[in-house]
């Protein structure tokens, strides 16, 4: 199988989804209004609510949602063969993720920029809202704690990536000042920023940086984790235009260039896919493809975390309601393109089937390492790049995706703490810095609760995929209730909703059995909590749909015409 054919079919499918399907959704289902006054204008505070250029906002949204997961998920899921992963990524992006991300953004904008958790209270009821917030908090905890581990591992494994990773922060601060303080147009900061970022990659190759073997008894990985959380805590409290927006924007451009390099290398080298289309000889212990494929590949096909970003930060920065199509749907397409690149790198970046089988010798192998090594080989063959430089470029891509997601994730976790404090009437916890300290405390407790190396975040990672997909299903249920109340067609959200709920509940039940047999009582308990909370919210959503004809339209309460 030619990787070029796979690349062309995949990219063409996603392009058709954006140009045709999203246009239909925008005009006929969500009915975007260019004159609607968005929360960014109505509630402008220049901290969280800031009207933003749609290209800058797309950069923030894309890099926030596209963490390490759209690389890790496909890189593991190809163990069942490249075809199932390819179909789920392309069709999932077009008919699931695009509609979900776009819809969460639209619904939040129409409701004063409320998060999808708070919106649940408005649309379904307070009990469902409280349960929904529990699921959201657990998901954000998994993302923040686990991504810190992923980033620290990459920084330790590839010291050449340290300078470009941290140098990107300084570049972003300069771009933020140039755009917002000195009113410079986007063009030159964008060009100069991308050139500087790629120059930093070459600088990093010449000056790799490693941390001391031990500081206060902590190894390099633990030191990086503490530094990452310290940075993320500060970044989450800064006004979005100072660091978050420009960092995500310039990272988005750099990462899109990186994706372009990978696809160009595929075009020039035309590597053959050595992995089987459908792998009938999976290693012992590999779980069944149904339902595990649909939770192993979460980000890259559809992800509940996207709804949190869309309704948590992006909706507060949307300048015009019509920008929601570009930011929301095309953000999902960008992530689908990353997942497709991961599939190609992890199936065509090997010389032989035997070499591929050597890496995929058990379920869970592959991952970011397979993406970096396989992609680095494709870059070397297609563009003549030194394989070490190619690997550094891809490592930096993975780190920046994960780091920007962590930036946004901690900010969102702070919002959840503040919302919970508001519901409970606890005023001190509503302050930003206290809520941030609480969020950081949970993350650090999880990270270091299992030992001094800070890798505790990976303890609950097995539940990430199922929780994430469950959350996406619940977000689709909120959208379906809103559409039914507005007397608009709800099939476009209801069909993905049913599919996702069935798959993720089945996956939770499969994992429940695994955790019980392994006597892993922590994951067993969390699995039960998530399962009960999700089923309860789904039941209340179904009841809300049933009485939808009697309800009041909720999507017109925010903004004004």
pLDDT attached to residue 450: 67
Q: What's 280's DSSP letter? A: S
- The separation between the first and the last C-alpha atoms of the chain, rounded to the nearest angstrom, is 53
Average pLDDT over residues 489-503: 94
**pLDDT tops 80 at residue 67:** no
In the chain, the percentage of residues whose pLDDT exceeds 70 is 97
Total residues belonging to the chain: 561
Task: Say if CB 98 and CB 22 are below 8 A apart.
Answer: yes
Tokens found for residue 329: 């749907």
Task: Say if CB 304 and CB 501 are below 8 A apart.
Answer: no
**pLDDT tops 50 at residue 72:** yes
pLDDT attached to residue 549: 55
Task: Say if CB 123 and CB 554 are below 8 A apart.
Answer: yes
Task: Say if CB 333 and CB 18 are below 8 A apart.
Answer: yes
Average pLDDT over residues 293-299: 90
- Residue 490's H or E segment, with its range, is none
Give the pLDDT confidence of 248-275 residue by residue, as tens digits.
888 888 778 888 888 999 999 889 999 9
Strand partners, 54: none
Task: Say if CB 143 and CB 500 are below 8 A apart.
Answer: no
Average pLDDT over residues 169-180: 89
Tokens found for residue 4: 């070029």
Among 39-53, 56-70, 155-169, 419-433, the minimum mean pLDDT is found in 56-70
Q: How far apart are CA 57 and CA 41, in angstroms?
A: 15
Q: Which residue has the tokens 């539940």?
A: 463
Give the pLDDT confidence of 83-113 residue by residue, as tens digits.
999 999 999 999 999 999 999 999 999 999 9
Average pLDDT over residues 428-453: 86
518 three-class SS: coil
pLDDT classification of 208: cutoffs 50, 70, 90: very high
Q: Which residue has the tokens 């289309």?
A: 277
Task: Say if CB 223 and CB 453 are below 8 A apart.
Answer: no
Nearest to 556, CA basis, from 271, 321, 351: 321
- Where does residue 28 rank: exposed (0-12), middle (13-18), buried (19+ CB within 10 A)? exposed
Strand partners, 272: 2
pLDDT attached to residue 560: 39
- Where does residue 427 rank: exposed (0-12), middle (13-18), buried (19+ CB within 10 A)? exposed
pLDDT classification of 550: cutoffs 50, 70, 90: low
Residue-by-residue DSSP string for 355-406: HHHHHSSSTT--HHHHHHHHHHHHHHHHH---HHHHHHHHHHHHHHHHHHHH
pLDDT classification of 363: cutoffs 50, 70, 90: confident
pLDDT classification of 561: cutoffs 50, 70, 90: very low
Give the pLDDT confidence of 21-57 residue by residue, as tens digits.
999 999 999 999 999 999 999 999 988 899 999 998 9
> Structural domains in the chain?
3-270+277-550 (1.20.1740.10)
Q: How far apart are CA 459 and CA 462, in angstroms?
A: 7
More confident residue, 322 or 305: 322
**pLDDT tops 80 at residue 460:** no
pLDDT classification of 302: cutoffs 50, 70, 90: very high
Q: What would you report as the CA-atom Rg of the chain, rounded to the nearest whole angstrom?
A: 22
pLDDT attached to residue 559: 42
Q: What's 216's DSSP letter? A: T
Cα 558 to the chain's mean position, in Å? 27
Tokens found for residue 160: 């050449």
Q: Which residue has the tokens 């599939």?
A: 343
Q: Which residue has the tokens 């709920």?
A: 501
Q: What's 451's DSSP letter? A: -
pLDDT attached to residue 558: 43
pLDDT attached to residue 52: 92
2 three-class SS: strand
Task: Say if CB 308 and CB 116 are below 8 A apart.
Answer: yes
Range list of β-strands (E), 93-213:
none
Q: How far apart are CA 280 and CA 292, in angstroms?
A: 16
Task: Say if CB 117 and CB 324 are below 8 A apart.
Answer: no
Among 30-34, 166-170, 456-460, the minimum mean pLDDT is found in 456-460
More confident residue, 326 or 146: 326
Task: Say if CB 130 and CB 337 are below 8 A apart.
Answer: no
pLDDT attached to residue 551: 52
**pLDDT tops 70 at residue 339:** yes
**pLDDT tops 80 at residue 498:** yes
Average pLDDT over residues 505-514: 91
288 three-class SS: coil
Tokens found for residue 256: 């899109």
Q: Which residue has the tokens 């894309």?
A: 62
More confident residue, 34 or 369: 34
């Amino acid at each position: 199988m030619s990787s070029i054919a796979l690349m062309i079919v995949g990219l063409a499918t996603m392009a058709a989804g954006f140009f045709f399907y999203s246009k239909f959704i925008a005009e006929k289902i969500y009915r975007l209004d260019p004159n609607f006054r968005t929360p960014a204008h109505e509630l402008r505070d220049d901290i969280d609510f800031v009207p933003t250029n749609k290209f800058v906002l797309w950069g923030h949204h894309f890099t926030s949602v596209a963490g390490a997961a759209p690389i890790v998920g496909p890189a593991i899921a190809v163990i069942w063969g490249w075809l199932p992963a390819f179909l789920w990524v392309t069709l999932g992006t077009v008919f699931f993720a695009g509609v979900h991300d776009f819809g969460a953004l639209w619904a939040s904008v129409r409701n004063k920029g409320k998060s999808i958790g708070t919106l649940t209270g408005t649309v379904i009821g307070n009990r469902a809202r409280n349960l929904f917030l529990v699921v959201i908090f657990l998901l954000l905890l998994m993302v923040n704690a686990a991504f810190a581990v992923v980033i620290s591992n990459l920084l330790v494994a590839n010291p050449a990536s340290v300078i470009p990773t941290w140098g990107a922060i300084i570049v972003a601060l300069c771009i933020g000042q140039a755009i917002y303080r000195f009113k410079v147009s986007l063009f030159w900061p964008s060009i100069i920023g991308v050139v500087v970022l790629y120059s930093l990659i070459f600088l990093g190759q010449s000056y790799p940086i490693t941390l001391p073997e031990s500081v206060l008894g902590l190894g390099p990985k633990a030191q990086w984790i503490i530094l990452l959380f310290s940075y993320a805590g500060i970044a989450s409290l800064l006004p979005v235009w100072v660091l978050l927006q420009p960092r995500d924007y310039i990272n988005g451009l750099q990462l899109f260039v990186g994706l372009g390099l990978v696809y160009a290398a595929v075009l020039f080298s035309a590597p053959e896919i050595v992995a089987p289309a459908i792998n009938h000889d999976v290693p012992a212990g590999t779980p069944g493809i149904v339902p595990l494929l649909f939770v192993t590949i979460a980000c890259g096909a559809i992800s509940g975390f996207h709804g949190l970003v869309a309704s948590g930060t992006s909706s507060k920065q949307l300048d015009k309601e019509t920008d929601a199509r570009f930011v929301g749907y095309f953000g999902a397409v960008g992530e689908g393109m990353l997942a497709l690149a991961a599939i190609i790198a992890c199936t065509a970046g090997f010389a032989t089937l035997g070499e591929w089988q050597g890496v995929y010798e058990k379920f869970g192998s592959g991952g970011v390492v397979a993406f970096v090594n396989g992609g680095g080989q494709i870059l070397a063959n297609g563009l003549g790049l030194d394989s070490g430089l190619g690997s550094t470029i891809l490592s930096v891509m993975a780190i920046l995706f994960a780091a920007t997601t962590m930036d946004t994730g901690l900010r969102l976790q702070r919002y959840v703490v503040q919302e919970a404090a508001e519901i409970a009437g606890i005023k001190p916890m509503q302050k930003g810095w206290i809520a941030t300290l609480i969020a950081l405390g949970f993350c650090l407790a999880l990270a270091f609760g299992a030992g001094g190396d800070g890798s505790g975040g990976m303890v609950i990672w097995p539940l990430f995929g199922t929780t994430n997909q469950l959350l996406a299903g619940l977000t689709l249920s909120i959208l379906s209730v809103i559409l039914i109340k507005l007397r608009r067609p709800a099939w476009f959200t209801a069909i993905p909703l049913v599919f996702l709920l069935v798959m993720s509940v089945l996956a939770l039940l499969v994992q429940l059995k695994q955790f019980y047999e392994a006597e892993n009582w922590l994951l067993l308990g969390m699995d039960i909590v998530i399962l009960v909370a999700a089923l309860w919210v789904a039941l209340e959503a179904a009841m809300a749909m049933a009485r939808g004809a009697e309800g009041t339209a909720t999507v017109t309460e925010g903004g004004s015409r």
